[in-house]
Structure 1
């Protein structure tokens, strides 16, 4: 069965294709996005984070300039894949996304791309790492780029322990219970309407964010716990972060030069748990999504990231 590519709202040349991910629910889909038919042995697949979807066309253009075919994946119930009646971004086990990722990888192979670079951000980074550790992921992924992956809860040790205990108790009993539902200075400030440099669909990435629910956060904490016990990702891994973190507040003068969502020190501490071949990249002036940073930090990230990608692919091919 071939993919049915149709025009995407990103503009002329951009296409999307719906990928069914359930034989029982036709409304449960993932969505692949690309800019026209692409050729080449190596392809990059981008995976978004929470309260997010693919709109970073400049990342696709940079990949194309590097000779990489580029695709993005909006996961089930996220972005283009969300359907009325569904809870946005809802899963109660991150393992559900393995189906989305495996199907996307299979389609890319079918389109003639024999090597896969997975580029994943934040919650998507945690999800991608867990999948790359699985048997199917080990077979599919040739290089893994984690852009500010969510490896731990950004809180004090005591709060992390207590909140995890509460989630383990509450999650199975009342999984849809809203844990947090409030604005994020980081999300608010990104959009052009609020002083940022980016334009995107505020329905799919609202400045106030989507509600964080008990069952979903429990799934994240369980995924983080699995990572903490150690993974063995066979592909080379690049863990990229901002150089420092800061408060997620509009009065933070470095709101546009720090990761104000995650604690980068937690990411650095967990990075060695991914596997035997892990490289770290710290970007001065970077923000939570390094691809949305100011011009200088963004260009630094893209340049060093793509250099690492090709070095890693060439090394594996040797």
Structure 2
């Protein structure tokens, strides 16, 4: 699902990836799940979400834990906490003011060495449309960051997701710099320790797995960690996803 203002859903007149409330994207996810259920009512519906999508999916699954939620949830390096690699360049107080009065203010920007490293044209292993996955990065805006912090604060208080949850993340984090010799075997976007700390609080049935040698998107990692992740996800869904 390419949620509004992201990926194939983005339109030239829109600010890429911008939101001021994660419930905007949750509505898109809910619509997709409802459509899938309408087409295949007897089949379990599993939601697989990555990074920011993992944060959105977790809160959506919590909100729909009684009715309409997924039968299983797989979170690939979910953005559950900022961690030390995400240091806002404004204070919380200034951020709140900016989010209210000038939400499109850029508070951080710069290229994504991680995305550049993945690209086949740069010696990586993947071909992708760089207008959809942007090696030049997407500016972090005040309204977006405030919305993320609000959502993460809710996660920090604990959720009650009603279905089985698998949370996967890389074994190590590292700097998103071209001179990082372990760029191809670390999460250089998020702090995996922060993910690991928050994940157990998502619900009563949460499995957390660490994958050595993986990058931020486990499914885009080198062959060994990618295969291990896909095998773990398939096994989890075979054993736990029930309608």
TM-score interval, smaller chain = over 0.9
Q: Which has the higher contact order (CA 8 A, sep 6+)?
A: 2
Indicate whether 1:190 and 2:118 are aligned.
Answer: yes
Query: Residues 302 and 99 of structure 1: is their aligned pair in 2 closer, same or farther, counting only changes over 3 Å?
Result: same
CA distance in 1, matches of 2:156, 2:108: 24
Q: 1:132·1:138 contact (CA, 8 Å) conserved in 2? A: no
Q: Which whole-Å deviations, capped at 9, do the CAs of 1:220-259 have from their partners, x for residues lacking one?
A: 1100000001110011111100011111111111100011
Q: Displacement of 1:161 after TM fit?
A: 11
Question: Match of 2:58?
Answer: 129
RMSD: 1.9
Question: Match of 1:306?
Answer: 234
Indicate whether 1:202 and 2:130 are aligned.
Answer: yes
CA distance in 1, matches of 2:108, 2:227: 34
99-108 or 292-301, larger mean C-alpha shift = 99-108
Query: Residues 75 and 108 of structure 1: is their aligned pair in 2 closer, same or farther, counting only changes over 3 Å?
Result: same
The equivalent position to 1:231 in structure 2, one of 153, 156, 159, is 159
Q: Which whole-Å deviations, capped at 9, do the CAs of 1:95-129 have from their partners, x for residues lacking one?
A: 11122111101111122153111000000000000
Q: 2:34·2:68 contact (CA, 8 Å) conserved in 1? A: no
126-135 or 167-176, larger mean C-alpha shift = 167-176
Question: Match of 1:139?
Answer: 68
Question: Match of 1:42?
Answer: none
Query: Residues 99 and 274 of structure 1: is their aligned pair in 2 closer, same or farther, counting only changes over 3 Å?
Result: same
Helix, strand or coil at the partner of 1:265: helix
Q: Displacement of 1:138 after TM fit?
A: 5.1
CA distance in 2, matches of 1:161, 1:308: 39
CA distance in 2, matches of 1:151, 1:137: 22
- By percentage of residues, which structure has more strand? 1
Contiguous gaps of at least 5 residues in structure 1? 1-72
Helix, strand or coil at the partner of 2:210: strand
CA distance in 2, matches of 1:193, 1:137: 47
Question: Match of 1:292?
Answer: 220
Helix, strand or coil at the partner of 2:75: strand
Query: Residues 238 and 210 of structure 1: is their aligned pair in 2 closer, same or farther, counting only changes over 3 Å?
Result: same
CA distance in 1, matches of 2:189, 2:181: 15
Normalising by the residue count of structure 1, what TM-score does the alignment of the two structures yield?
0.73
Question: Match of 1:281?
Answer: 209
Question: Match of 1:266?
Answer: 194
Q: 1:228·1:270 contact (CA, 8 Å) conserved in 2? A: yes
1:1-318 paired onto structure 2 within 5 Å = 73-113=1-41, 114-135=43-64, 139-155=68-84, 163-313=91-241, 316=242
Q: Which whole-Å deviations, capped at 9, do the CAs of 1:267-298 have from their partners, x for residues lacking one?
A: 01101110101101110101000000001110
Normalising by the residue count of structure 2, what TM-score does the alignment of the two structures yield?
0.94
How many residue pairs end up in the alignment?
A: 242
CA distance in 2, matches of 1:154, 1:190: 23
Q: Displacement of 1:79 after TM fit?
A: 1.1
Helix, strand or coil at the partner of 1:130: helix
Helix, strand or coil at the partner of 1:238: strand
Q: Displacement of 1:309 after TM fit?
A: 1.2
Q: Displacement of 1:135 after TM fit?
A: 2.6
